[in-house]
Structure 1
């Protein structure tokens, strides 16, 4: 009888680890204050926003990805800190990842794809922050069910 050697579990990455603790605190505190969020929620949102931005930048998929409505305050927190964000983009993936709003395209299919892309790159996905699209307003209905 042969026994297969155990493979060590691969640690999942966290978005928050893409910034120093001091920088993460600065961003998460701003997100909490600016958007009226509890600190723990703002921390989770910033973690996911950093992972999202990193995946968009490293895979050059910024034109086909978007944050959920819940993660959007974290994405805006990043881009509002222009000097920090520009330096971070350059260090992480070598170019400035511009903001290209797609809020009208937040479909169930898109959110599932974004979550899958983040997970594929090894990041934890906080499922509670990536809900299905809540409303369907023509002409943006995607047809993923009775409502987007």
Structure 2
């Protein structure tokens, strides 16, 4: 990935987070490409907390399993309109649908609003300890 593309992705992630902080009740979600930038921000916790505070409040990231089929064009359109209402200019190349996107990301996760489909943790049994004979 080029430095200029990475900068565009982070800029869109900041715009998305700022919009989320300004409109906390809005049902919006990032594209997989913008989500990569959001992850980069979240990992620097002090910077991320300061950004959220500057924009109006902490924005939690709710992880979801990769769902390439979870693309909802109406949700993306609504997200971009909400970002525009917040004063940001969406970068259309970073919000493409799964069939139109040529930017490779770590996980093709089409997020949904946080109250829709969170990851459900399934407890698994712990392995039995081995005895003195290694069995």
Superposition TM-score tier, normalisation by shorter sequence: 0.5 to 0.7
Cα offset, 1:124, TM superposition = 1.1
Which residue of 83, 89, 107 corresponds with 1:118? 83
Per the alignment, residue 31 of structure 2 pairs with: 68
Task: State the Cα RMSD in Å.
Answer: 2.2
Cα offset, 1:68, TM superposition = 0.5
Per the alignment, residue 92 of structure 2 pairs with: 127
Which residue of 36, 51, 62 corresponds with 1:88? 51
Per the alignment, residue 99 of structure 1 pairs with: 61
Larger radius of gyration: 2
Contact 1:65 1:114 in 2 (8 A): yes
1:89-141 deviations in whole A, cap 9, x for unaligned? 12220x32111135644311111111111112221111111112449xxxx9x
Q: 1:121 to 1:91 in 2, by over 3 A?
A: closer
Cα offset, 1:84, TM superposition = 1.0
Contact 2:22 2:86 in 1 (8 A): no
Contact 2:9 2:94 in 1 (8 A): yes
TM-score (norm 2): 0.64
Q: Which has the higher contact order (CA 8 A, sep 6+)?
A: 2
SS of 2:5's equivalent in the other structure is helix
Instruction: State how far apart, in whole Å, the 1-side matches of 2:29 and 2:16 are.
Output: 8
TM-score (norm 1): 0.59
Per the alignment, residue 50 of structure 1 pairs with: 14
Q: 1:75 to 1:99 in 2, by over 3 A?
A: same
Instruction: State how far apart, in whole Å, the 1-side matches of 2:72 and 2:98 are.
Output: 5
Q: 1:133 to 1:116 in 2, by over 3 A?
A: farther
- Say how many residue pairs are matched: 98
